[in-house]
Copies of this chain bind each other. A is one copy, B any other.
């Protein structure tokens, strides 16, 4: 099986300097992979000259100079930048030239353009942003992380169905445990959205385990956690913020005295182990689920290792054919 993936080489804070070496690293480790790098050929080509011929033959460049800027309005990206590297990468997915695309560009634009070009599955009203997050016991798939605010219960139900299909496909879990993100105070438990979603999920046929609180997400209580995009984005960013704060505080404590500095250096294996389990790079690559094709969003600030991880997510989703699985699951639910 051949895996064809388009990369928006211009997206993100660093553009081709990160996206191209990262994509080529995954190309090297994935013999079935064929890459289309979309963007300014003059900036992309230098990275290709050193490739062995066998690898070079699996890479093509789709040249364009138009770029969606990080601060471009969605309307601009959608209506005025029809030759942008982001748009052309998505077009390749729509044309079935490739099976997935990846971009580190502007999330709002990526979501809007993907939705416009690829459309959602028949039974899905809105796409959602899904990502894997580390937990004490492994990882959890959480959605929506910011594509939708003011979600309705039926949207959260759809998110649950999609998240369940993704966990099944990517992790090989037969019946993923689906939790609904909620707050814990007994009497005031949940808002109206949560209560009505809870009812829908109980009747959904999914392996619904009920409410999960913010801390339960990281205890690994569920394989899939569902929430509105506003809440999910705040929770995700807050979590990243705390992790970074703790890492920063550890660094500050290490720098506090020469003794601490020595111990900090000795503790390298501990930091490495921690980093391996927590590294945002390891968890880079959010899926825009609910679309008829695979679109993966990388952090804008991703480095080479981190962007490569997003490419690997795309490879895995192609291998498992996630959109077809989601569609099949939605069809079953319908039937």
Specify the chain B residue showing the minimal Cβ separation from A272. B253
State whether the Cβ of A63 lies closer than 8 Å to any Cβ in chain B. no
- For the complex, count residues of A whose C-beta is within 8 A of B: 74
State whether the Cβ of A250 lies closer than 8 Å to any Cβ in chain B. yes
Residues 113-147 of A, flagged 1 when their CB comes within 8 A of B and 0 if not, give: 00000000000000000000011100000000011
Residues 228-257 of A, flagged 1 when their CB comes within 8 A of B and 0 if not, give: 011101111111111111101110111011
Residues of B within 8 A of A241 (CB): 214-219, 239
State whether the Cβ of A260 lies closer than 8 Å to any Cβ in chain B. yes
Cβ B234 vs Cβ A185 within 8 A: no
State whether the Cβ of A112 lies closer than 8 Å to any Cβ in chain B. yes
In angstroms, how far is the closest chain B Cβ from the Cβ of A210?
16
Cβ A270 vs Cβ B254 within 8 A: yes
Cβ A183 vs Cβ B230 within 8 A: yes
> Beyond A184-B237, A214-B240, A250-B270: 15 further Cβ-contacts under 8 Å?
A108-B186, A135-B245, A149-B183, A214-B235, A216-B241, A219-B241, A230-B231, A231-B231, A239-B239, A246-B246, A249-B274, A252-B273, A253-B274, A256-B273, A267-B267
